[in-house]
Each structure stands twice: as C-alpha cells, then as structure tokens.
Structure 1
Amino acid sequence: MISQLSWKIGGQQGEGVESTDRIFSTALNRLGYYLYGYRHFSSRIKGGHTNNKIRISTSPIRAISDDLDILVAFDQESIDLNAHELCQDGVIVADAKFNPTVPDGSSAKLFAVPITAIAEELGTSLMKNMVASGASWALLGLPLEVFNKAVEEEFGRKGQAIVDKNVEAVKRGAEYVLELAGGPLERFQLEPADGKEKLFMIGNDAIGLGAVAAGCRIMSAYPITPASEIMEYLIKKLPKFGGTVVQTEDEIAAITMAIGANYAGVRTMTASAGPGLSLMMEAIGLAGMTETPVVIVDTQRGGPSTGLPTKQEQSDINALIYGTHGEIPKIVLAPSSIEECFYDTIQAFNLAEKYQVPVILATDLQLSLGKQSCELLDYSKIKIDRGALVEETPEREDGSLFKRYELTNSGVSPRIIPGKKNGIHHVTGVEHDESGRPSESPVNRQNMMDKRLRKLDGIQVDNPIHVQAPHENPDLLIIGMGSTGGTIDQARVRLEEDGITTNHITVRLMHPFPVNEITPYLEKAKKVIVLENNATGQLAGLIKLNVGFRDKIVNMLKYDGTPFLPSEVYSKCLKVNEQSAAEKQSGELVKNGNF
C-alpha cells in the first residue's frame, strides 16, 4: 500500500472538470485523507484546456507533486499536455469516444472507457464526469458508498431522480474499468486515512470566513479573478449576520465605499487583484491621510495589465508597499496556508483599527484558489481589538473640535464614530491639524507626517516570520512567501537526505519589514536562496534593502504562470550549494597561495 497518490482530470473548460474534481476530492476528504489541489484553467468562460490536480496523502501536505499516478482525460489534448507527468507505471482513464492514444515513449497504461456513451445511455452526456469519476475511484479500491454520499450532496438540491442517475453513472464507470483492469489496481491502494475530520477549502473561502469571524459586516468589491470567490462566499454568509456585499461599478468605488463604511464604524473590507489594486492606490492614500482603518485583499496573479489572469504570480510586492503616492503608514501581511488566511484576516481587521491604517492581505493565485486540507480552526483564538475607539468625550467649554488627529507619542490618536456626543471634527484628504482643519503650515506638516509614520515603530504582528531552523550554521537558508512554503519544505527533505543542511523562513510581514527577526538567520547561513514567482526578485530586493547580505543572496525566480515544483527547488538548491562549495574551495586555495 502507498501513503500518497496524485490524480488529475483534464478536458475543455465547461466540460465538468471542476465538478468532477470537487466531488472526487470531497469524497476523499470524508475518508480523512489530506489533500492539496492545483487548478489550471483558461481566462475564458467556456473552451480552452483546463485541468485539476489533487495530491492525496495520509499525512499533512502543502505542495503539488512533481509526478502523476492517474490521469482522467476527456480529450486527446489532455493526454498530450499532461502525459509527461505520469509515473512509469501511471494510468490514463480516457473517453473511448475520441480514440485515445498514448504519446510515444510513455509507459502509461491506457484504459479506454466509453465515458460519453455510458452517460448518453443514462439520458445525457452531461453525466460523463460522473462516469469518469466512478472509473478512477474504482481503480483505487475505495468504498463506493462514500463517493455516492458526495454525489448526493452535490446534486441533492436537484431532486432524487437526478441523484439516482448520477449514482448509476458512477456505478457504470466503476464496473467498466474494473472489468478492463481485472479489479482495483494494487499499485494504487492507499493506506487507510486517520479518519479525523478536516476542513477542505480554498484560501479565498478561509479569508471570507475569517472576515465574518472578525466582525466584518460589509464587503464592497468588483469581481476579478482570482478574488471573486471571497465575494461569492460573503454574499451567502454576511446576510445571516446582518451584513451585506455591495458589488460596485469599479474598484475605485469599492475602496472608497469601504473607507466610508469604516469611518462610520462598521468593519468593512474589499478584495481585488493587481489591476484593481492599481485603481485603488489614490484612495488607499486617502485612508492613510485620514487615518481610517480599512482591509484590502490582493490576490496576486500574472501581470502586467490583464497579463495572465488565471495563472500564478507574486509580482505585486513592490506595488503593495510603494504604490501609493506620498508617504503613509500601512501594513502588508502575507499568509502562507489556509489556516493563516483565516487567522490573518482577523488580525488584519484588528491591526487596521489598532493603528488606524490600511492593512493589505497579500495572497497569490495558488493560495487563493488551490483547495487544501486544514485542521479544524480554533475559534477560541479569536480576539477583537478595536483600538483607541472612544464612545464619547467630555464637553469642552471653549467649544473646540474633537482632536481626532491628536499628536501622540505612539502616533495613534483617539478615534470616534460620527454622531457620538462631543465628537465633531473635520475629515479631509488634504494636510490638516489635530482637529482635521486644513493646514499648510510647515511646522504642522512635519508634525503630522512624523505622527502618522510613528505608528510603524510600534507595530506588533503575530509571527512576522515562520522559521524552521534546525541548524546553527546551515549550508542554505531558503526564504519564500505565500504558497511556496510547502514546496520548500518538501524540497528540503531531499536536500537533507543528501547531507545539505537547510533552514527555511517564510516571510509573513512584508511591511514594515521584520528586520530584527530575520537578520540573525541570514548572518549564520552560508548562502541564502530567495524563492518567488516573479521576474525581478522583489522579495529578495526587500531583504537586500532592509537587511543587507547582498553577497549571500541568490534569486530563484519562476514567472511562467505555474507554481514551483519541489523538484525544481531541489535542483536549484543543489546547484547553489555546489557553487558555494566551489567558491569556498577557491577562496582557500587563494589564501594558501595554491591558486
């Protein structure tokens, strides 16, 4: 028996690939397996190749696999594009309708199943995804009852007749492939899962759930890939708590509405991707100048312009930190797991109100849309911190305005919700004095700038970096962010087996940069590899700017729209370590006068 397996389904967008993956993975989740999914899809509604890959394991995983065990193909293109990933004894389950063939040089075993024909016999070709699911499920030798339960959950709202037809489709697919294969394939028999209940969700859903738990009651946003699922989640959930989602006419309206609602005292957020973030920049500056808390989610994708809207990238880092004109304090967080998407969203709302600044939560497409297993969330960890929010103030005999922007040592001023007694003050996007009145006085300008920027000196964030540092002076320190964390961990296993010592840091606070926390680890490493999905090494640039160690840092960049594979990280680290050893040897030769 095996402890993990990789499964992929491919076809044309609109053929049911997504629903097949959803039901297949839901059934596996019910059995207690750990799952990690990657979704490759085109930037159009229908047509174009799409595939969903799931890694199944008896232990926690946070990375896609290098290879593939089972490929379910609805067309020849899916075989041609994905067969190279198959293991030596991998299997292809393909629709016999298109006379599937295995590419030259591939050792994969082909099972041609009349997937469409079986579905049509049952009344509609739309059920071919269930036939295919049944066929691949049967090869694993897993109980069909569990799969049928997932089918009932998927189609139950459509009536029992539809459920029964889909269950029959699953059964027919399973029976046909088992007859071809002579029973379940021993090679693919998974060890039993632990059976423990686990959550199975995408990062966007975890962010939405975190927003609800944090007390967010309004989301204003404009749909954009890969952020739209946050809206879709909250459209269903917020009304149950007296909240609402407002689909605005554009991203500018979305951010300004969020700022207005936060000013009125309601925790409000917006979410977008790179193009929408660009449109929001002026208003983010307004939030900084008026010291109004607001939470913005940026789900990074391939750019610039429309770029690769459905592909992986981490190229918004500089824009997130430096995008606004002028200088304002802001906080940029970068969760690296499903759990962190949940907890960091709650933290983002607390930080926004505590320091009265815009807080940006930066994910990437793989983390936003990749469906993953995670442990049950601990709701006892949730704490709500509304900062220096005052209910009312004493009446002032001189009739002066409330000092909404009072000069304080921390830079954080008392904040009051409009309409509260004795709280009247001005609010404007131009420079202003302590009560909000416009002022162009040079002295006031410097005082106010210093006050606002002082907030960055006192910012305290939970776990600004994740550290795995078993070695005092490692050969390699590998640094990443977002969805790359699990891939780095998997590569490190092979590196350690080769005798190469490695430490790993995931940067979770992008701004203000956690200099004190990260510096000791860079000092002790022989070489530092910074891994990121962009072409210019933006994270590495941040480290060099804030910490230094330019001579130690090596970029590992990938910007073709796909996530890093563990094997890619392993190979690059291997080369860097070899180069480091060669440099050390050359240095010693020179020192000894032998070069």
Structure 2
Amino acid sequence: MISQLSLKIGGQQGEGVESTDKIFSTALNRLGYYLYGYRHFSSRIKGGHTNNKIRISVKPIRAISDDLDILVAFDQETIDLNVHELRPGGVVVADAKFNPTLPEGIDARLFPVPITKIAEDLGTSLFKNMAASGAAWALLGLSLDVFNKAVEEEFGRKGPAVVEKNVEAVRQGAKHLLELAGGPLKEFELLPADGKQKLFMIGNDAIGLGAIAAGARFMAAYPITPASEIMEYLIKRLPKFGGTVIQTEDEIAAVTMALGANYGGVRSFTASAGPGLSLMMEAIGLSGMTETPLVIVNTQRGGPSTGLPTKQEQSDINQMIYGTHGEIPKVVIAPSTIEECFYDMVEAFNIAEVYQCPVIVVTDLQLSLGKQSAEPLDLSRVKIDRGALVTEVPPQEEGKLFKRYEFTESGISPRVLPGVKNGIHHVTGVEHDQEGRPSENPVNRKKMMDKRLKKLQNLRITNPIHVDAPNESPDILVIGMGSTGGTIDEARRRLAEEGITTNHITVRQIAPFPADLLIPHLQQAKKVLVIENNATGQLANQIKLHTGIHDKIQSFLKYDGNPFLPSHIYEACKGLN
C-alpha cells in the first residue's frame, strides 16, 4: 500500500471534468486524506482541453506532484498532452469510445473502459463522468460506500431516480475497470487516512468566509477570472448575515461603491484581477487621500492586457505598489495558504480601519482556485478593531468643523461616521486642511503628506515573513511568495538528501516592505534564490531595493502560465553558480 498518489482527469471543457473531480475529491476528503489540486482550464465557456490534477496523501501536502500515477481521459487529446507526466508503470483509464492509444515509448497500462456506453445505457451521456469516477476509485482499493454517499449529496436535490442512476454508473465503471485489470492493483491501494475532519476549499472561498468573519457586510464586484468565485460564494452566504453583494457594470463602479460604503461605516470590499485592478487605481488614490478604509482582493493571473486569464502568474507586484499616481500609504498582504486567506482577510479589514488606508490582499491563480485541504479554522483568533472611530463628538466652536484630518503624532486622525452629532467635515479628493476644506497652502500640503505617509512606518502584519531557518549559514536561502511555499519545501527535502543546506522565507508583507526582518537572513546565506511567476523578478527587485543586498541574489522565474513543480526548484538550486 502507498502513502500518496497523483491523479489527473482530463477532457474537453464542459464535458464534466470539473464535477468528476469535485465528487471524487469530496469522497477522499470525507475519509480524511490530505488533498492538493490544480485546475488547468481554457479561457472559454465550452471546448478546449481542461484537466484537474489532484494529489492524495496521508500526510499534509502543499504542492503539485512532479509526476502522475493515474490519468483518466475522456478523449485522445488528454492522453497526448498529459501522458508524459505518468511515472513508469502508471495507468491510463480512457473512454473506449474514441479507441484510445498510448504514444510509443510510454511505460504505462491502458484500460479502455466503455465510459460513454455505460452512461448512454443508463439514459444519457451525462452519466459518463460518474462512470469514469467509479473506474478511477476502484484503482485505489477503497470502498464505494463513501463515494456513493458523496454522489447522493451532490445529486439528491434532483431526486432519487437521478441519484440511483449516478450510483449505478459509478458501480459499473468500477466493475469494468476491475475486470480489465484482473482485480485490484495493489500498487495503487492507499493506506488508510487518519479520518480527521479537514476543510477542503479553494482560496477564494476562504477569502469570502474571512470577509464574513471580519464583519464585512457589503461586496461590490464585476466578474473576472480568477476572482469571480469570491463574489459567487458571498452571493449565496452574505445575505444570511444581513449583507449584500452587488454585481456592478465595471470595476470602477465596484471599487467606488466599496469606498462609499466604507465611508458610511459598513465594512466593504471588492475583488478582481490585474485588469480590474488597473481600472481601480484612481479610486485607490481617493482612498489614500481621503483616508477612507478600503480592502481590495487581487487574484493574480497572466498578463498584460487580457493575457492568460486562466493561468498562473505573480506579475502584479509593481502594479500594486506603484500603480496609483502620487504617494499614499498602502498595504499589500500576500497569504500563502488556505488558512491565511481566511485570517488575512480579517487582518486586512482591521488594518484598513486602524490606519485608514487601502489594503490589497493578493493571491495568485493557484492559491485562488486550487482546491486543497486545510485545518479547521480557529474563530477565537478573529478580533475586530475599528481603530480611531469616534462615536461622540463635543460641540465645535462657531464656524469650525470636526477635524477629521487632524495632525497627530501617529499620523492617524480621528474618524467619524456620517450622522454623528457635531462630526460634520468636508471630504474631497483635492488636498485639504484638518477640517477637510480644500487647501493649496504649501505648508499645509507638506504637513498633510507627512501625516499620511508616516502612518505605516512601524506596521507589521501577523507573520510578515514566514521563516524556516534550521541552518546558521545555509548554502541557499530560497525566497518566494503566495502559492510557491509548499513547492519550495518539497524541493528542499530532496536537496537535503544530497547534503545541500537550505533555509526558506515566504514574504507575506509586500508593502510596506519588511526589509529589517529579511536582512539578517540574507547576510547569513551563501546564496539567495528568489522564486516567482513573472518575467522581470519583481519580488527580487523589491528585496534588492529595500535591503541594498544585490550580489548574492539570483532569480528563478517562470512565466509560461504553469505553476512551479518541486523538480523545477530542485534543478534551479542545483544549477546556482
């Protein structure tokens, strides 16, 4: 029996690949296995090759595997595009309808299961995803009972007849596979899982849940890949908490609606990707100038322009830091796990209100859409901090207004919500005095700029950098952000077996950049390798800019639309000069 394996299901988009993977993974999660998935899909509604790769383990995992044990193919294209990933002795389960063949030189076993025929005999080809799932499930040596329970929950709303036919498709798929294979394949039988309850979600769901826990009750957004699931998640759930989601006509409307709602006192946010964030820049500047809290989620994807809307990239770093014209205080937080997507949303709302500034929570496509196991969330860690919010204002002198932008030692001024007695003040996007009245006075301008910019001088989010530094003077310090953390750690384990010592840092606070925390680790390492999904080394350049250390830093960049695999990082570390 084995402790882990990797399985991929592929076919044409709209053919049921996603639902096949969903039920298959849900059943494994119920048994207590750790899962990590990656979804490859085209930027169209129907047609084009798509596949879901799922890694299954009895131990925690946070990376896609280098190779593949089982490939489930609905068409020949899936075999042709993915069979090279199969390890020697791997298995291809394919629909017999298209007369599947393996390319020459591939060491794998092909099992042509009559997937479409099973489905059509049951009344419709729609059942073929369940027939394929049953065949794949049989390879793992697991009981069909748990799988059938997941099927019942998925299709129960459609009535018992539909459930029964789906269960029968699963049974027949498993039966045909076992007949072709001559019984269970022992080398694919999984060890029992621990049976413990685990969350199984994508990062976008965790972000939506985190927003609810943080007290957000309004979201305005325009659909865009890979952020749309945040809005879809909250459309179903936010009304249960007295909240509202509005799908706007564009991202400009979305961000200004969120800004206005925050000004009114309702914790609000928007979510988008690079193209949408470009449209939000003027409103982000308005947030900074008016010192109005604003939370934005940026789910990075391939750019520029429309770019690769359904592919992995981390190329918005410069945009988030420097995109707005002029200079404002701005915070950029990069979660690296499902759990951090939840907790960081809570912290983002607190920071936005405490420091009265825009906060961007940045993920990447893999973290946003890759479904994976997560530990149960600790709601006792959720604390709400609304900062310098004033609820009672003493009467003002005649002719004077509330000093909403009062000069203070910390740079943080008292904030009042509309309707509070004696709290009347001006709000404008032009430079202003302490009461908000427009002012072009040069002395006032400098004082206001200094006031705003010094607010974040000492800001440190929770765990601004994750540090795994067991070695005092490592051969290599590997630095990354976002979804690369687990992949880096897998490569490090292989390097350790060869006597190469490594430390690892995941940068979570992108702005203001925590240079003082990084410098000691940079100084101790013999070499530094920065891993990032872009073409220009944006994270590496931030490190160089803020630390002044250049000579030992090298970049390993990947910008072909695919995420890093452990072998990629292993080879890059081995090849350092």
TM range (shorter): over 0.9
After TM superposition, list the pairs within 5 Å mapping 1:383-402 onto structure 2: 383-402=383-402
Deviations 1:36-61 (A, max 9, x none): 00000000000000000000000000
Q: Using the alignment, how far apart are the partners of 1:396 and 1:493 within structure 2?
A: 65
After TM superposition, list the pairs within 5 Å mapping 1:228-307 onto structure 2: 228-307=228-307
Q: Using the alignment, how far apart are the partners of 2:129 and 2:388 within structure 1?
A: 55
Asked if 2 retains the 8 angstrom alpha-carbon contact of 1:139 and 1:183, the reply is: no
**Corresponding residue for residue 537 of structure 2:** 537
Q: Using the alignment, how far apart are the partners of 1:477 and 1:195 within structure 2?
A: 36
**Corresponding residue for residue 315 of structure 2:** 315
Q: Using the alignment, how far apart are the partners of 1:486 and 1:559 within structure 2?
A: 19
**Corresponding residue for residue 404 of structure 1:** 404
* Deviation of 1:461 (Å): 1.1
Q: Using the alignment, how far apart are the partners of 1:462 and 1:409 within structure 2?
A: 24
Q: Using the alignment, how far apart are the partners of 2:482 and 2:443 within structure 1?
A: 42
**Corresponding residue for residue 205 of structure 1:** 205
**Corresponding residue for residue 162 of structure 1:** 162
Deviations 1:287-308 (A, max 9, x none): 0000000100000000000000
CA RMSD of aligned residues (A): 0.5
Q: Using the alignment, how far apart are the partners of 2:82 and 2:48 within structure 1?
A: 14
Q: Using the alignment, how far apart are the partners of 1:399 and 1:443 within structure 2?
A: 22
Q: Using the alignment, how far apart are the partners of 2:452 and 2:41 within structure 1?
A: 43
- SS of the aligned residue for 1:279 comes to helix
**Corresponding residue for residue 83 of structure 2:** 83
- SS of the aligned residue for 2:53 comes to strand
Deviations 1:517-544 (A, max 9, x none): 1110000000000000000000000000
**Corresponding residue for residue 492 of structure 1:** 492
**Corresponding residue for residue 584 of structure 1:** none
Q: Using the alignment, how far apart are the partners of 1:40 and 1:462 within structure 2?
A: 32
After TM superposition, list the pairs within 5 Å mapping 1:66-81 onto structure 2: 66-81=66-81
**Corresponding residue for residue 447 of structure 2:** 447
**Corresponding residue for residue 522 of structure 1:** 522
Q: Using the alignment, how far apart are the partners of 1:499 and 1:97 within structure 2?
A: 50
Deviations 1:437-486 (A, max 9, x none): 00000000000000000112132311100000000000000000000000
- SS of the aligned residue for 1:458 comes to coil
Q: Using the alignment, how far apart are the partners of 1:76 and 1:48 within structure 2?
A: 13
**Corresponding residue for residue 115 of structure 1:** 115
Asked if 2 retains the 8 angstrom alpha-carbon contact of 1:262 and 1:268, the reply is: yes
Q: Using the alignment, how far apart are the partners of 1:173 and 1:135 within structure 2?
A: 5
- SS of the aligned residue for 1:118 comes to helix
**Corresponding residue for residue 182 of structure 2:** 182
* Deviation of 1:399 (Å): 4.1
**Corresponding residue for residue 11 of structure 1:** 11
Q: Using the alignment, how far apart are the partners of 1:262 and 1:127 within structure 2?
A: 47
**Corresponding residue for residue 366 of structure 2:** 366
* Deviation of 1:398 (Å): 2.9
**Corresponding residue for residue 124 of structure 2:** 124
**Corresponding residue for residue 136 of structure 1:** 136
Deviations 1:394-446 (A, max 9, x none): 11233410000000111100000001011000000000000000000000000
After TM superposition, the structure 1 stretch with the greater mean CA deviation from structure 2, 390-399 or 291-300, is: 390-399
- SS of the aligned residue for 2:575 comes to helix
Q: Using the alignment, how far apart are the partners of 2:59 and 2:320 within structure 1?
A: 35
**Corresponding residue for residue 509 of structure 1:** 509
Q: Using the alignment, how far apart are the partners of 1:293 and 1:43 within structure 2?
A: 34
Q: Using the alignment, how far apart are the partners of 1:485 and 1:543 within structure 2?
A: 17
Q: Using the alignment, how far apart are the partners of 1:166 and 1:94 within structure 2?
A: 19
Q: TM-score, normalised by structure 1?
A: 0.97
AA paired with 2:540?
A
Q: Using the alignment, how far apart are the partners of 2:97 and 2:508 within structure 1?
A: 49
Q: Using the alignment, how far apart are the partners of 2:389 and 2:271 within structure 1?
A: 25
**Corresponding residue for residue 171 of structure 1:** 171
Deviations 1:55-94 (A, max 9, x none): 0000000000000000000000000000000010100000
Q: Using the alignment, how far apart are the partners of 2:544 and 2:409 within structure 1?
A: 30
Asked if 2 retains the 8 angstrom alpha-carbon contact of 1:410 and 1:458, the reply is: no
**Corresponding residue for residue 193 of structure 2:** 193
* Deviation of 1:153 (Å): 1.1
1:146 aligns with 2:146: yes
* Deviation of 1:554 (Å): 0.6
Q: Using the alignment, how far apart are the partners of 2:460 and 2:81 within structure 1?
A: 47
Asked if 2 retains the 8 angstrom alpha-carbon contact of 1:216 and 1:268, the reply is: yes
* Deviation of 1:548 (Å): 2.0
Q: Using the alignment, how far apart are the partners of 1:165 and 1:567 within structure 2?
A: 42
* Deviation of 1:375 (Å): 0.5
- SS of the aligned residue for 1:7 comes to strand
Deviations 1:3-31 (A, max 9, x none): 10000000000000000000000000000
Q: Using the alignment, how far apart are the partners of 1:279 and 1:243 within structure 2?
A: 25
**Corresponding residue for residue 47 of structure 1:** 47
Q: Using the alignment, how far apart are the partners of 2:237 and 2:399 within structure 1?
A: 45
- SS of the aligned residue for 1:302 comes to coil
Q: Using the alignment, how far apart are the partners of 1:491 and 1:19 within structure 2?
A: 32
AA paired with 2:122?
L
- SS of the aligned residue for 1:568 comes to helix
Deviations 1:299-357 (A, max 9, x none): 00000000000000000000000000000001000000000000000000000000000
Q: Using the alignment, how far apart are the partners of 1:76 and 1:208 within structure 2?
A: 38
1:28 aligns with 2:28: yes
- SS of the aligned residue for 1:175 comes to helix
Q: Using the alignment, how far apart are the partners of 1:461 and 1:187 within structure 2?
A: 46
AA paired with 2:4?
Q
AA paired with 2:19?
S
Q: Using the alignment, how far apart are the partners of 1:311 and 1:183 within structure 2?
A: 39
Q: Using the alignment, how far apart are the partners of 1:270 and 1:6 within structure 2?
A: 35
Q: Using the alignment, how far apart are the partners of 1:548 and 1:569 within structure 2?
A: 25
1:456 aligns with 2:432: no
- SS of the aligned residue for 1:286 comes to helix
**Corresponding residue for residue 479 of structure 2:** 479
Deviations 1:250-287 (A, max 9, x none): 00000000000000000000000000000000110000
Q: Using the alignment, how far apart are the partners of 2:444 and 2:140 within structure 1?
A: 71
Asked if 2 retains the 8 angstrom alpha-carbon contact of 1:336 and 1:485, the reply is: yes
Q: Using the alignment, how far apart are the partners of 2:7 and 2:337 within structure 1?
A: 22
- Count of aligned pairs: 577
Q: TM-score, normalised by structure 2?
A: 1.00
